[in-house]
Structure 1
């Protein structure tokens, strides 16, 4: 069965590198997904010649929309929201809002993207706040989805409960897990551990039939395949994410350094190269680059600002998967059912 046509809007200018990263990633995605059409927003003159040099079939699936403004990486979200209405980021979101694109991807200013997305797309009725979520590697067959990653530093119990529902829907639709195991991140697994909002969220989740809740997990359980979805507040989630990315980069650098120390380690590295490549592919942060802003009435994927072309491609791939599975609609349906069941 041929997949339905998908249109994704891309912020061509976002991130630390702009078109030298975003355009090659876009072309790679077009080659892999024949059903994909891309709308690139930004300074179209920077990539017009490159587009014209592409295979005609690929080039025909690229639309360039010239934008006169761009959101700087250090720009305050409130200033960007008020003054950057003609920016590539803002117009990208408006394409999703009006239905011309099913999803959008940007590597630009995170705060500005969240503020604009919240203003333009609004949250799904019944949800208090959107959440940033991304997948991370585990020792098992499936990745784990961690949220929130920084959209909301402080979260009450009801917000954590809503995150659990959204994360469960995402895991089931994108990863194909029938009943995702959902856990709360805590300082211990015992009932007496944790702050008041975590304890209350634990109580709400245990009473809910909509979530396959398994209880508390600690930080070292994130990567053990103990849960498919791990829920926490944005402060803790962001620290966990950045710490894990830093550790992954440390391991990769350490392996490269040790394997080139002398002729003997170089020989061992050559013999073990197939295994090392497999391990590298598992822990390489690039393939976990896309962070989705869940809870909005549209699909928004945030890429790291310093992402490579390969990393940005994975963010596009996440947007395509969510668009095919109509994740916002599935979350909306689930939330409506939950609200009808609860007093």
Structure 2
């Protein structure tokens, strides 16, 4: 809050709050935050599920998650051409819907789900990321003046990373609490007297020898089923957020491209670049400000010398 107050009062803010007066830019940042909260956070949750519920090693987990990244790598180079043809709005909406469908499908995977099924869901999620990440950034950039491009890019990245940090904390806590509750219920139904202590040992320390009567294998199977249930709760929450975000982000993402693009297309290259270069020269901090002041002082001195010389010639 103190940072926002300071930025609102300083003459040269690092974060111009006036950018958020444009509803389209504000919505683009909310969509970026939601992307971090859902898709970026899901990568962390996927790896936890594959290791804890399905029992794969870190290396095997990375290989099984490869479709998520391979599809994104293949599709991303074509996003520029697709944006020109269909617009940011259609691609962003499709991306959030694809990510939501992928996470919703994860609500039905379990400890014994085959790799092909999970790989297909990862591929759909990778397609969603490829459609939503670059178009979201491009849409936000189109809603701000060109000389603010650097600031806008930083704001979009900051909101996305903030969403990721908060998403890992919230969805991770949701997954853990749900898994703990399910495992405790399973143990109580199995007649384990100290179900709470056994659950804490299994979830917190991965100690599956706490209950000798049930055995390690029996407790591990219950833990895997409970962990999958916690994963399902987190995935369902992320899918709902992704679906909800698809509507507003799609409606507002296409409006800025036309007006901003048309305004700049009507200008010649020289007229379009000159304000940008001038603004970049003045937009720095620290050393750049000092150089600007020195440059202005030198110019004033040269004008004074020229005026003095002209006066002497007249005399």
| Same-fold status (TM-score > 0.5) | no
Q: Whose helix fraction is larger, Structure 1's or Structure 2's?
A: 2
Higher Cα radius of gyration: 2
Higher relative contact order (CA 8 A, sep 6+): 2
Identify, as 1 or 2, the structure richer in strand: 1
